[in-house]
């Protein structure tokens, strides 16, 4: 059985990938510094070790204690606004931390890595849907850290035979279909959980950031991809390493507007969402959705969730359950 190290496996997408790998007969070791991750999101079938990308001794301990075959790396900071205010934190954790991880892997003869990259590496879109050949000019430090990591992978692949796949996510959404785990960021900035919290009465309202975009209803369009479809793609990517290295988009290819998300959440919950109209948020393009042909062709990936209502339903089930989970 293959032993996979999931760095950042206590976070949102990491914990769903851990569960998916275990369900598919992989052995999983989770390493996490638990700054943003939750220990109770880690599947009990996985081994857990406390480690931090900036503490190389803790990284060495992971590879000493476990004979790792491949790494899936989620351990990055992801708040765009914070990355503008505190770039040091982002370049240090995301870039230096990843170099530490790669060098430790190299020292222990581990050559395979799957990485969470992002469509934020493209920057201001020039055409839609976005494919992998689109120019990459990220507009914030967060996006730049992810692009730098992609470039480091490419150099390490040439020099040290690193086998890598960087998955450029669009908008991760939803929760496990059995509602055992889900999205739980602190602070929460993402649209779907904020809409659901407004419906539950945990927030006064949801602010719609801009209603004058050049889209059919004036609100921003994004490509929401179910977290279990992301998890599946990570397993397929792991299984593809050795015959392909490179970067692959992960999105459904379908765009959904902010107003459509609110409508889906109202339909699913049967309750009205209190809404406020607010100014545009800096750096938000009007539309972002993926050309996902490469994921289909190279990974043989097919998203199981294609209807936004089904995605929001899983997030709602999780929101209802979470109060008892915490």
| Residue 173 vs 295, nearer CB to ligand UDP | 173
The CB-of-32 to ligand UDP minimum distance in angstroms stands at: 22
Residues between 231 and 290 with contacts to ligand UDP, criterion CB under 6 A:
258, 281, 284
The CB-of-224 to ligand UDP minimum distance in angstroms stands at: 8
What span, in angstroms and rounded, lies between the C-alpha atoms of 275 and 193? 14
| Sign of the torsion formed by the C-alpha atoms of 125, 126, 128 and 131 | negative
Which of the ranges 134-142, 205-213, 229-237, 316-324 carries the binding residues for ligand UDP, by CB under 6 A? 205-213
| Residue 3 vs 207, nearer CB to ligand UDP | 207
Interface with ligand UDP, residue 206, by CB under 6 A = yes
The CB-of-14 to ligand UDP minimum distance in angstroms stands at: 17
177-213 per-residue burial string, b: 16 or more CB within 10 A, e: under 16: bebebbbbeeeeeebbbbbbbbbbeebeebbbbbbeb
Q: Which residue is nearest to ligand UDP (CB)?
A: 220
Q: Helix (H, G, I), strand (E, B), or coil: what is residue 33?
A: coil
What span, in angstroms and rounded, lies between the C-alpha atoms of 298 and 2? 21
142 in active site: yes
The CB-of-302 to ligand UDP minimum distance in angstroms stands at: 23
| Residue 177 vs 205, nearer CB to ligand UDP | 205
Interface with ligand UDP, residue 315, by CB under 6 A = no
What span, in angstroms and rounded, lies between the C-alpha atoms of 291 and 253? 6
- Which one of 36, 90, 122, 142 is the catalytic residue? 142
The CB-of-220 to ligand UDP minimum distance in angstroms stands at: 3
| Residue 42 vs 221, nearer CB to ligand UDP | 221
| Residue 6 vs 208, nearer CB to ligand UDP | 208
Interface with ligand UDP, residue 79, by CB under 6 A = no
Interface with ligand UDP, residue 308, by CB under 6 A = no
| Residue 181 vs 206, nearer CB to ligand UDP | 206
Interface with ligand UDP, residue 66, by CB under 6 A = no
The CB-of-209 to ligand UDP minimum distance in angstroms stands at: 4
If binding means CB under 6 A, how many residues of this protein chain bind ligand UDP? 14
* H or E element that contains 127: none
Residue 8: DSSP 8-state: T
Interface with ligand UDP, residue 207, by CB under 6 A = yes
Phi, psi (5° rounding) for residue 116? -85, 100
User: Catalytic residue positions?
Assistant: 142
Q: Would you tell me which residues interact with ligand UDP (CB under 6 A)?
A: 171, 189-191, 194, 206-209, 220, 222, 258, 281, 284
């Amino acid at each position: 059985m293959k032993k996979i190290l999931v760095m950042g496996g206590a976070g949102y997408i990491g914990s769903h990938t851990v569960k998916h790998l275990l369900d598919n007969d992989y052995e999983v070791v989770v390493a996490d510094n638990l700054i943003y991750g939750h220990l109770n999101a880690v599947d009990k079938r996985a081994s857990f070790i406390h480690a931090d990308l900036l503490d190389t001794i803790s990284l060495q301990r992971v590879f000493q204690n476990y004979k790792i075959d491949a790494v899936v790396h989620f351990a990055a900071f992801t708040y765009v606004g914070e990355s503008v205010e505190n770039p040091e934190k982002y370049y240090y954790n995301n870039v230096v931390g990843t170099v530490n991880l790669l060098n430790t892997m190299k020292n222990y003869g581990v050559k395979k890595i799957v990485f969470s990259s992002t469509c934020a590496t493209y920057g201001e879109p020039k055409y839609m849907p976005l494919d992998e050949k689109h120019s990459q000019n990220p507009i914030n430090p967060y996006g730049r850290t992810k692009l730098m990591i992609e470039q480091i992978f490419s150099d390490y692949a040439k020099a040290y035979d690193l086998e890598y796949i960087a998955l450029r996510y669009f908008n991760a959404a939803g929760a496990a279909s059995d509602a055992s785990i889900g999205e739980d960021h602190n602070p929460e900035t993402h649209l779907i959980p904020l809409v659901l919290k407004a419906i539950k009465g945990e927030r006064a309202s949801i602010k719609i950031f801009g209603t004058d975009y050049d889209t059919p209803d004036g609100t921003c369009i994004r490509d929401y991809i179910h977290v279990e479809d992301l998890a599946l793609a990570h397993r397929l990517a792991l299984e593809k390493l050795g015959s392909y290295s490179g970067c692959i988009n992960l999105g459904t290819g379908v765009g959904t507007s902010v107003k459509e998300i609110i409508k889906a959440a109202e339909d699913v919950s049967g309750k009205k969402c209190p809404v406020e109209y607010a100014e545009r948020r800096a750096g938000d393009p009007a539309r972002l959705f993926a050309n996902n042909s490469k994921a289909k062709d190279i990974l043989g990936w097919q998203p199981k969730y294609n209807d936004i209502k089904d995605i929001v339903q899983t997030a709602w089930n999780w929101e209802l359950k979470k109060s008892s989970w915490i």
